[in-house]
Amino acid sequence: MKRIKNKRGLTFKLIIFIFLSVAIIFTLIFLDNYDISKKMVEKNLKLNAELITKNIVYKAEKILGSVQEIPNNFSKIIEDSSYSEAEINRILKMEVENNSEIYGACIAYEPFYFNSTKKYYAPYYYRNKKEIEFKCLGNEQYDYFIMDWYKIPKEINRPMWSEPYYDKGGGNVIMSTYSVPLYREKNGKKYFIGILTADVSLNLLREYFESIKVYKTGYAFMISKKGTYISHPIKELIINETIFSIADAQKSSEMRVIGRDMVKGESSFADTEYYNIKYNKLSRIAYAPVSLNGWSVGVVFPVDEFMKDVNNLFIRVMFLGLGGLFFICLVIIFISRSITSPLRKLSIAANKFAEGDFDFEIPPSSSNDEVGSLNKSFAHMQSALKKYIENLRLTTSAKEKIESELKIAREIQMGMIPRKFPAFPEKKEFDIYGFIEPAKEVGGDLYDFFFIDDVRLCFAIGDVSGKGTPAALFMAITTTIMRAENQIAGLNTSSVINLMNNYLCKNNEGNLFVTLFLGILNTSTGEVEYINAGHNYPFVIKCNGAVSELNTTHCIPLGISINTCSNPNTFKLEKGDTIFLYTDGVSEAFNIDDQQYSIKKISEILHNQANHTPFEIIQHIIDDVKDFSQGTEQSDDISVLAIKYLGKPLSKVPTQNYQMVIKNSIGNLSSLSEKITQLCNNWEMSSDVLNKVNLVVEELISNTIFYGYSDTFEHDIILNLMYDESTISIEIIDDAKEFNPITQKSADINSDINERQVGGLGIHLVKSLSDAFTYQREDSKNKIKIIIQF
Amino acid sequence: MMKITNEKISELLIIHTEGRLDAITSVEFEKEVMPMIQQSEHPVLIDFGKLEYISSAGLRTVLILAKETKKSNNSLALCSLNETILEVFRISGFDTIVSIYPTIEEWFASMK
């Protein structure tokens, strides 16, 4: 993930970082703004709610007030007692007529007070539709003396509003009654004579409350002192339910708390939210008491509606913010493009540089900003690089010329030394291997070997004083004259050396000299004649592992002074012996600690090399020297030459083939074995091998004849015998049914005589006697090949 | 191809073989030797001194003869096997089911 991010361009990074920052700032502002707006709306709402509630309370009080004012005033008239019954009734009727808020009015007298014959006397005027009707209340069914509107004011001696009730047998509507107790003075004492009432129809209040609109679905309601609904948009609740019964039904503790505060006559805009009964919407409620009678008015404010403005604001600000962010994105893209496009062009130019195109024109930049200055620096770098590379090219081409000449010189020098191995593949009498590694391109070491007649191999190893080109040239002269002098027939090694020395001394302007070991090996006898002109003593590794040095020096190195060499030495290489020659580049190889590899180490290595070929011996020495020097620069040329004498080889038996075709009859086996015997005798094979061949052939062919064919036709079985130096291979091809002898389960060779079976024994014998056993099914033929070594 | 002679030395039967014991000759070998073995009531020795060659067919015959002598509570031994034949016996595990003696004399010595 991280890697992918790092790969993104500048534009992407700018967008991500700026966009994120702006988005975070915007979100914080937005949230803060939303919070403040919400608080403001709530504050306004609270003021508004209180105002609305107060207004409703005021209106309700006005209605109730105008209702209760009538009986309050009228009671004085009645208590005065100077009015007749008819007058009082007329006034009563008039009051109902003139006050639309009053549903009905009544004077209910104490029993037998007005008329000693009448227990009940209560004239009542009330509205029936548009008409004012009269009714005298009171009978056995309508025993008003025990009704709340009569009894309670009488007891408490003051006017009061009754709880709402359905006035059955009276006004026959849901109403609340304002009752004023009436007294009359007699003998200076006040006697209770009855109750004066004015009813207010709750319908009237309800109509008023329904007319109140609070937002869209908000509404107002009124409850009595006991919490009974007096007015509510849901008609069924009126009288029948209290705010507490509804709170219980709704399991709303918030509503119960509100109800309690309302009944207590408190006023507030409650902080708690609850689901209103009418629309089941999350709402808040404002309430205030009606001071006249202790009722309470509640106004329900649905939260979503009063929060609507805030939410609208929220959405509006959010859209504005998103639009702004989008615009910022576009601006960033534009700016970063204007920055990155010259950068991109510059990057292409840099890539072209990297590919070596220094003539690529840098795109011009008109701006003077940082990118413009980078462009200028780049152009400067281009011209500086161009100049530098031109210089470099000139210097290197001069150097390359010298190097390539040296390389050619090295090839020429190496071409003078025989380095193709096996050098004489047709010669089996000896094995020879040489290795040369100059310290510089060309060096002064040399080795050489060549036949001077059919059997005599001349070999030499030498080391010219100094290194590099002068030494190489001197080495070339030495090699050339050595070959030339050896061509003169009948010379022994010391004569050759003397002639070479004469030549080298005469023409030695550079005062160089060369150490040389020159030997001639008679490849048919193993005899070696040698001269050592100041060279390191070669080693002889005997076939039994003994290592010795040829520690004779016959003369000083060649090219120093004209003198005569003593007579050459001779020794004999036995079969398996090896002569190992080297230059001081090997024994004097240095390691990091400035230690020399030493002759002793060479001799140690050679001690267990008797069974190895010259190639393996030299490889071993070179690897060991390399391990020793641990990468220290080679200080001197290294040359090694080894010759292993193998003796005169035996005459070689050429490979011979013989093919026989046998018919599938068991009787043919005897003539077959005769033929094989004859053939093997011709090949001078031992009787043991002959018997093995016979056994293998008999077992396999008799198996095929006995079990291979399900028909009675004649079939050909082909037998190929191939014989060479060390093996005889037997190939049997038949067209019998498929049978792979190799995968057959092994024969029983362990159980005792009673259980012993002979099945599979033939194949077991073949497997045991052969050195290789293969089977192939090809072209519907079984092809078995067996090799026996001897 | 196969020459078979026999002699009796103090009741013991010695069968001399000469030639090759292969898929063809083993049939006549069995035919000739079986009755001799059946008639002999004393240990039998087959002398392979002049036998040049044996194949699995020959081994099979040896097994049949050995089983036959075992049946009649007699014993069968071989002697003077050449290197190749001895190797075949070893490879096939037959050296464990038939007693093999280097010479006739050693067999005699074991009989006493």
Query: What is the domain-level CATH number for residue A513?
Result: 3.60.40.10
From A645, A680, A705, the end of a domain falls on A645
Residues A620 and A712 in one domain: no
Say which DSSP state B84 is in.
Answer: H
Is A474 within the bounds of a domain?
A: yes
C-alpha distances (whole Å) from A771 to each of A680, A730, A749, B54 are 18, 11, 20, 20
The pLDDT of residue A758: 67
Note the pLDDT tens digit of each residue in A591-601: 888 888 999 99
Q: Which residue has the tokens 């599938």?
A: A664
Q: Sorting pLDDT into bands at 50, 70 and 90, what band is A144?
A: confident
Say which DSSP state A416 is in.
Answer: H
Residues A574 and A442 in one domain: yes
- Give the mean pLDDT of A657-681: 88
Q: B60 and chain A: CB distance < 8 Å anywhere?
A: yes
Distance from CA of B92 to the nearest CA of A (A): 6
pLDDT of B15 > 60? The answer is yes
Distance from CA of B111 to the nearest CA of A (A): 21
From A587, A613, A645, the end of a domain falls on A645
Note the pLDDT tens digit of each residue in A187-199: 888 888 889 999 9
The answer to whether B96 contacts A667, with C-beta atoms less than 8 Å apart, is: no
- For chain A, helix, strand, coil in percent to 5 are 45, 25, 35
pLDDT of A148 > 80? The answer is yes
Distance from CA of B82 to the nearest CA of A (A): 9
Residues of A with CB under 8 A from a CB of B: 666-667, 669-670, 673, 687-688, 691-692, 694-695, 698-699, 702, 747, 749-750, 752-754, 756, 758, 761-762, 764-765, 768-769
ipTM of the complex: 0.90
The answer to whether A753 contacts B23, with C-beta atoms less than 8 Å apart, is: no
Q: What are phi and psi of A446, to 5 degrees?
A: -150, 150
Note the pLDDT tens digit of each residue in A333-386: 888 888 778 788 888 888 887 887 777 777 776 677 777 888 888 888 888 888
Q: B72 and chain A: CB distance < 8 Å anywhere?
A: no
The answer to whether B70 contacts A754, with C-beta atoms less than 8 Å apart, is: yes
The pLDDT of residue A212: 85
The answer to whether B53 contacts A694, with C-beta atoms less than 8 Å apart, is: yes
pLDDT of A491 > 80? The answer is no
Is A231 within the bounds of a domain?
A: no
Query: Dmax over Cα atoms in chain B, in whole Å?
Result: 37
The answer to whether A753 contacts B70, with C-beta atoms less than 8 Å apart, is: yes
Locate A718 and state its tokens: 């082909």
User: With contacts defined as CB-CB under 8 Å, which chain A residues touch B83?
Assistant: 688
The answer to whether B60 contacts A752, with C-beta atoms less than 8 Å apart, is: no
The CATH class of B2-107 is alpha beta
Where is average pLDDT lowest: A65-79, A294-308, A651-665, B30-44? A651-665
Residues A675 and A757 in one domain: yes
The pLDDT of residue A2: 43
- Give the mean pLDDT of A599-615: 91
- Which helix (H) or strand (E) is A310 found in, with range? helix A308-354
Residues A486 and A599 in one domain: yes
The answer to whether B84 contacts A692, with C-beta atoms less than 8 Å apart, is: yes
**Structural domains of chain A, count:** 2
Of B56, B67, B97, the CB nearest to A762: B56
Supply the CATH number for residue A741's domain: 3.30.565.10
- Strands, E assignment, A565-675: 569-572, 578-582, 638-645, 656-663
Note the pLDDT tens digit of each residue in B22-78: 888 988 999 999 999 998 888 999 999 999 899 998 998 999 899 888 888 888 999
Residues A598 and A460 in one domain: yes
Residues A666 and A764 in one domain: yes
User: With contacts defined as CB-CB under 8 Å, which chain B residues touch A764?
Assistant: 91-92
Candidate ranges A63-72, A360-369, A429-438; pick with highest mean pLDDT: A429-438
Is A458 within the bounds of a domain?
A: yes
Distance from CA of A452 to the nearest CA of B (A): 52
The answer to whether A753 contacts B1, with C-beta atoms less than 8 Å apart, is: no
From A621, A645, A669, the end of a domain falls on A645
- Give the mean pLDDT of A503-523: 89
Residues A610 and A499 in one domain: yes
Residues A609 and A684 in one domain: no
The pLDDT of residue A6: 54
Across chain A, what does the average pLDDT equal?
Answer: 86
- Give the mean pLDDT of B72-95: 90
pLDDT of A529 > 80? The answer is yes
pLDDT of B1 > 70? The answer is no
Q: Sorting pLDDT into bands at 50, 70 and 90, what band is A287?
A: very high
Q: Sorting pLDDT into bands at 50, 70 and 90, what band is A1?
A: very low
Residues A638 and A696 in one domain: no
Of A786, A781, A735, the closest CA to residue A762 belongs to: A786
Measured between its terminal Cα atoms, the distance across chain B in Å is 35
Cβ contacts below 8 Å, chain A against chain B, sum to: 73
The answer to whether A695 contacts B53, with C-beta atoms less than 8 Å apart, is: yes
Of A688, A752, A754, the CB nearest to B84: A688
Residues A484 and A614 in one domain: yes
Listed by start position, the domains of chain B span: 2-107
Distance from CA of A777 to the nearest CA of B (A): 25
Residues A693 and A779 in one domain: yes
Is A487 within the bounds of a domain?
A: yes
- Give the mean pLDDT of A105-120: 85
Q: Sorting pLDDT into bands at 50, 70 and 90, what band is A407?
A: confident
pLDDT of A544 > 90? The answer is no
Is A115 within the bounds of a domain?
A: no
In which domain, by residue range, is A769 found?
656-789
Q: Sorting pLDDT into bands at 50, 70 and 90, what band is A3?
A: very low
pLDDT of A4 > 50? The answer is no
d(CA B85, CA B46): 14
User: With contacts defined as CB-CB under 8 Å, which chain A residues touch B100?
Assistant: none
Q: 3-state DSSP call for residue A350?
A: helix
- Would residue A543 be called left, alpha or beta, if left means φ above 0 and alpha means ψ between -120 and 50 degrees? alpha
Residues A674 and A567 in one domain: no
Q: Sorting pLDDT into bands at 50, 70 and 90, what band is A654?
A: low
